Amino acid sequence: MIRRLDLSDPAVAERLLRIQHAAYAVEAELIGFDGIPPLQEDLAGLMASTEHWLGRYDGAVLVGAVAYELTDDSVDISRLIVDPAYARRGHGRALLDHLDQLEPRPVSLVSTGSANTPAITLYKARGYTETDQVEVAPGVYVTQLRRVS
């Protein structure tokens, strides 16, 4: 089940923060860089987020989420996180599919660590193409991807 998340609910925000920290710890290991901003975020910062959030549940347990921002013609995916204990079960893909149905836009944008092969593979399998690589720290690159409908 996928539904909108209310980050003003402390229980939801606390679970989401645990998932976010765990998911970004995996990415930090993959890319060799632990300065990823969501990895450093605290509960107050997460609860102050102005992004839209969708959460994926396995029964009553929140197992993943996607955060995004909208313009008239694009959706900018700012975070896609899955609890590592639930990884590789299609939760990320399900969140992206649901987002496409809920907020259809001609353009979708996303970025991820260039060494995060699982994420790059997921986005490319969904029709995204690389548009740029940006060095965010010495030797650490982020790949920007775009999909046009």
**Residue 58 resides in a domain:** yes
Rounded (to 5) percent helix, strand, coil in the chain? 35, 35, 25
pLDDT of residue 100: 96
111-121 pLDDT tens trace: 999 999 999 99
33-75 pLDDT tens trace: 999 999 999 999 999 999 999 999 999 999 999 999 999 899 9
The count of structural domains within the chain is 1
**Residue 119 resides in a domain:** no
The most distant pair of C-alpha atoms in the chain lies apart, rounded to whole Å, by 42
Residue 35 belongs to domain spanning: 2-105
**Residue 25 resides in a domain:** yes
Backbone angles phi, psi at 46, to 5 degrees: -65, -45
68-85 pLDDT tens trace: 999 989 999 999 999 999
**Residue 9 resides in a domain:** yes
- Which domain CATH number covers 99? 3.40.630.30
- Quickly list DSSP for 12-39: HHHHHHHHHHHHHHHHHHHHT----HHH
Backbone angles phi, psi at 5, to 5 degrees: -105, 140
Q: What's the CA gap between 119 and 117, in Å, rounded?
A: 5
